[in-house]
A = this chain, B = another copy of it.
Amino acid sequence: MAGMIRKGERNLITDVAGLRVGQAEDAAARTGVTVLLADEPMMAASDVRGGAPGTRDVLGLDAVPLVDAVDAMVLSGGSAFGLDAPSGVQQYLKERERGYRIAPGLPPVPIVAGAILFDLANGGDKEWGEEPPYRALGKRAAANADRNFKLGNAGAGFGALAGAYKGGLGSVSCVSDDGTVGALVAVNSVGSPIMPGSDAFWAWPYEQDGEFGGRMPKKRAGLELPSDMKGAVRPAANTTIAIVATDVELTTLELRRIAIMATDGFARSLRPVHTPFDGDLVTVVSTARHKPSEPRPLTVLRLGHMAADCLARAIARGVYEAETLGDFRSYRDTFP
């Protein structure tokens, strides 16, 4: 049976037991990497809905994959250069003999999925010479992994922009009798997280205990595209990439359904979203610590509902926690 749904203790994705988050940044380049590490391989399924995604080893269902579990999942800045970040995490894991064991005697192969966002036009110094910084950032991020981690201008959210506001890294969690659900997201959207003519986040209906400032809307949004979305001047400078985690043991198909429902959290916290210029995706992972209660489709419905709410809250929180960086003003400096 479904129990009361409440905010988790840390209100971070690491409320899901067995998960840690590590981050590393290059302040001069205004970019960074966030990695979700698991004590044991995680089942994973993804839902890619943006028009301009950049991914590495992201496991959908189309491939009917042999390996349906990952050792880590990486969110990175750097656009396609950031697809190096999983290499650094792989190296970190290889040194600890973690990975998929193909056969006895062969070295294990760490399976590290990754998704990137575009932060190349944020004013940072991108003249990094022979090798982009992302492999090294990935390894440093993995070494930093902890159950506590910084939100806002951190990791993959360091140089992110959400509409006209400074974007950032967000995370929340919730708990019910079914289990724990957490979300982790780097918000770098074309669309705005704020209701037009207002200081309220689109995600306001789901807010818990003022976790993103506690403002409520007073009027309708109207039909126009918002004036605080990113302009046509940076048509590729976008993408919101997210991870949802749960401790409930589910099949890949069930995780895929939860990913589809989690995607609704994007729609409830950003407008417009899933545009041709966004590379939006969500990967749902499971640490498989608890069996789901029967009937399973109802458990999937409840976990999908929790996932959608968590993702909407995490997106707002990532923007709320961000700090002004160069020309890019934070939400809190815009609406003090």
Residues of A within 8 A of B (CB): 2, 4-7, 49, 51, 174, 190, 195, 204-208, 216-217, 220-221, 223-225, 232, 235, 257, 260-261, 263-268, 271-277, 295, 297-298, 300-302, 304-306, 308-309
Evaluate contact between A260 and B304: CB separation under 8 angstroms.
Answer: no
| Interchain CB contact (< 8 A) of A308 among B205, B272, B298 | B272
Complex Cα spacing A205 to B268, Å: 11
Given B224, B274, B301, which contacts A276 in the complex, CB threshold below 8 Å?
B301
Number of copies of chain A assembled together: 2
Q: Which residues of B contact A309 (CB under 8 A)?
A: 223
By a CB distance below 8 angstroms, the chain B residues around A276 are 257, 297, 300-301, 304
Residues of B within 8 A of A235 (CB): 295, 297-298
Known: A195-B205, A297-B277, A298-B235. A304 touches B2 (CB 8 A): no
In the assembled complex, which residues on chain B have CB atoms less than 8 Å from the CB atom of A195?
A: 205
- A204–B190 touching, CB < 8 Å: no
CA of A266 to CA of B264 in the docked complex: distance in angstroms?
8
Distance in angstroms from A256 CB to nearest chain B CB is 10
Which residue of B207, B261, B273 is within 8 Å of A274 (Cβ)?
Answer: B261
Which B residues are CB-close (under 8 A) to A273? 261, 264
In the complex, the answer to whether A272 meets B301 with C-beta atoms within 8 Å is yes
Complex CA distance for A190 and B261, rounded to whole angstroms:
13
Q: Which residues of B contact A298 (CB under 8 A)?
A: 232, 235
Q: A5, A264, A274, A309: which has the most chain B beta carbons within 10 Å?
A: A264
Q: Are B274 and A260 in contact (CB-based, < 8 A)? A: yes
User: What are the residues of chain B within 8 A of A217 when measuring CB–CB?
Assistant: 205
Given contacts A49-B260, A235-B298, contact A225 B2 (CB under 8 A): yes
A294 CB to nearest chain B CB (Å): 11
Chain B, residue nearest A232 (CB): B298
List residues of chain B with CB within 8 A of the CB of A304.
272, 274-276
Q: How far is the CA of A309 from the CA of B268 in the complex (A)?
A: 12
Nearest B residue to A221 via CB reads B205
The answer for the CA separation of A302 and B223 in the assembled complex, in Å, is: 11
The winner among A225, A263, A276, A300 for most chain B CB atoms within 10 A is A276
Contact A302 B225 (CB under 8 A): yes
Q: Is the CB of A224 within 8 A of B261?
A: no
Task: Provide the residues of chain B in CB contact with A297, threshold 8 Å.
Answer: 51, 235, 276-277
